Amino acid sequence: MKKRFTYLSRDRRTKIHAIEWIPSGEIQGILMVCHGMVEHIARYDEFASYLAAYNILVVGQDLLGHGKSVREKKYLGYFSEGDGNQILVDDLRFLQRMVQKKYPHIPCFFMGHSMGSFLVRQYMGTYSEDLSGVILMGTGFYPTPLLLAGRMLCQILIKLKGSYFRSRFINQLAMGSYNRHFKPNTSKVDWVTSERIQRVKYKNDPYCNFVFTVNGYDQMFAGMIRMNRRRARKHIRNTFPLLLVSGKMDAVGNFGKGVKKISRLYQKAGLKDVRMILYPKVRHEIIMDRSKHIVYQDILSWLRLRLNAAN
């Protein structure tokens, strides 16, 4: 059963839209899903329904500036004035507490895709004790000096043009290089998936077809700077289960190199249960690419193994 609901964002003015996929049988575990940049949680319906059929409850929300959590079109790609990044993290925290109050004593896992993985990497640095494990999907490594430079440029544009300004230049700097690796291009989103039908759906989806505001970019970069800090990994228990899944042809993960770098960082921090899977010939959205059913099965197997260990 699929259930939609809303709750008030920590910005105190936006209603956050969320979806819960509830198994028909006894719930064995919970997987919270944090979607990526310029998309929305409804796109995970097939994946979530698959897990629900195996008694894994899946829940996720449209983040601030995304999907049905947007009050007006101008708010697409906009977080909030002040510390918008922290508001996103606080919204995730509120959702987890709400879900676990409803389903106490059920092991809870968190999966973040792309920008969602950057938020989850921040989240697990603070709240790992309340989680049974994390899945990072389509993640990548970005050096802090580069992110600081990006923030500086965003803040200049905010002063000149305002927080709602959409800079094609910053968008090109942040994402423009991804498609170059897949020439000859058939679209601007060839880097997202090798599946043509999925690319058409992505291009025709109004919630996947906009440019981030300079506020959104500024706050995303701020969060990525935080996730890069050593203390973001320092307090995670060494038995914490972590799964990294990405495509070998994912430009965001630098074709596996960035994902391997992240894996090494968490292992260096002391985590002993770190597993990484890179899928050949698969691009950024691995649950919407040619090997999606293998990805589904791998994630289910990983969850079941950790659930068995928890019981």
Residue of 30, 18, 238 whose CA lies nearest to 135: 30
CATH number corresponding to 2-310: 3.40.50.1820
CB atoms < 10 A from the CB of 164, how many?
A: 15
Q: Rounded distance, CA 43 to CA 305, Å?
A: 26
pTM of the predicted protein model = 0.96
CB atoms < 10 A from the CB of 195, how many?
A: 17
The CA-based angle 61-286-54, given to 5 degrees, is 65
CB neighbour list of residue 108: distance below 8 Å, 6 or more residues apart: 29, 30, 31, 32, 96, 99, 100, 130, 131, 132
Q: Rounded distance, CA 138 to CA 193, Å?
A: 12
Q: Determine the pLDDT at residue 311.
A: 65
The identity of residue 72, as a single letter, is E
Q: Determine the pLDDT at residue 75.
A: 96
Residue of 223, 193, 200, 187 whose CA lies nearest to 65: 223
Residue of 134, 112, 149 whose CA lies nearest to 36: 112
Map tokens 């923030």 to a residue.
151
Query: What kind and span of H or E run contains 197?
Result: helix 196-204
pLDDT, one tens digit per residue, over 7-60 is 999 999 999 999 999 999 999 999 999 999 999 999 999 999 999 999 999 999
Strands 29-34 and 108-113: parallel
- On whether the CB atoms of residues 118 and 224 are closer than 8 A, the answer is yes
Question: Where does residue 284 rank: exposed (0-12), middle (13-18), buried (19+ CB within 10 A)?
Answer: buried
Question: In whole angstroms, what separates CA 257 from the centre of its chain?
Answer: 19
Residue of 233, 240, 242, 235 whose CA lies nearest to 268: 233
* Every domain of the chain and the residues it spans: 2-310
Query: In the numeric block, which tokens belong to residue 266?
Result: 């968490």
- 3-class SS of residue 84: helix
Listed as ranges, residues in the chain with pLDDT below 50 are none
Q: Determine the pLDDT at residue 177.
A: 86
Q: Determine the pLDDT at residue 252.
A: 96
Q: Determine the pLDDT at residue 274.
A: 98
Q: Determine the pLDDT at residue 286.
A: 98
Question: In whole angstroms, what separates CA 129 from the centre of its chain?
Answer: 20
Q: Rounded distance, CA 146 to CA 71, Å?
A: 32
- On whether the CB atoms of residues 219 and 91 are closer than 8 A, the answer is no
Question: In whole angstroms, what separates CA 292 from the centre of its chain?
Answer: 17
Map tokens 């679209």 to a residue.
187
